């Protein structure tokens, strides 16, 4: 049975596309072909665009590539996906608000896996001038995706 993971952030151009690629890479390295990963936005501002160039260059620096095109989360996603991850408390609050009654998806904060409580928020680096915040988001995703796979996706 294929499991499905959806990564969510506000605009789907910074954190969630990084998390999508990192989770997919983590699964590939573990020979897990039975899990699909996608990402989406809470808001529709960037639909149809690619990820922020700083997110793409951060991934490329680590030998990874994103071909994702921004999309907005739909009601159907709550039935199609097994896990939907938010990056911060605001994401989680909005996901809980949007989640229809009887939703199949388990709503989780990515940083709750593998990170200390004080570090669990994956901050939005969008308004930073440089790439440092994108690297921090990437590093947190690496830790959290690995921890989630070990804790929840063991065969």
Known catalytic residues are: 9, 15, 124
Q: How far apart are CA 88 and CA 10, in angstroms?
A: 10
* Other CB atoms within 10 A of residue 25 CB: 19
Cα gap 43→46, rounded to integer Å: 8
């Amino acid at each position: 049975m294929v499991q499905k993971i959806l990564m969510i952030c506000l605009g789907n151009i910074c954190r969630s596309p990084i998390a999508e690629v990192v989770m997919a890479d983590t699964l590939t390295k573990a020979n897990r072909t039975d899990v699909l990963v996608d990402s989406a936005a809470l808001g529709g501002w960037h639909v149809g665009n690619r990820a922020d160039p700083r997110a793409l260059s951060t991934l490329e620096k680590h030998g990874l590539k994103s071909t994702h095109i921004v999309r907005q989360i739909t009601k159907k996603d709550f039935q199609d996906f097994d896990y939907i991850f938010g990056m911060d408390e605001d994401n989680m609050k909005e996901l809980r608000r949007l989640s229809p009654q009887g939703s199949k998806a388990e709503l989780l904060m990515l940083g709750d896996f593998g990170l200390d409580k004080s570090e669990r928020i994956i901050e939005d680096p969008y308004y930073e001038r440089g790439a440092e915040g994108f690297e921090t988001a990437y590093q947190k995703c690496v830790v959290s995706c690995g921890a989630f796979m070990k804790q929840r996706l063991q065969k």
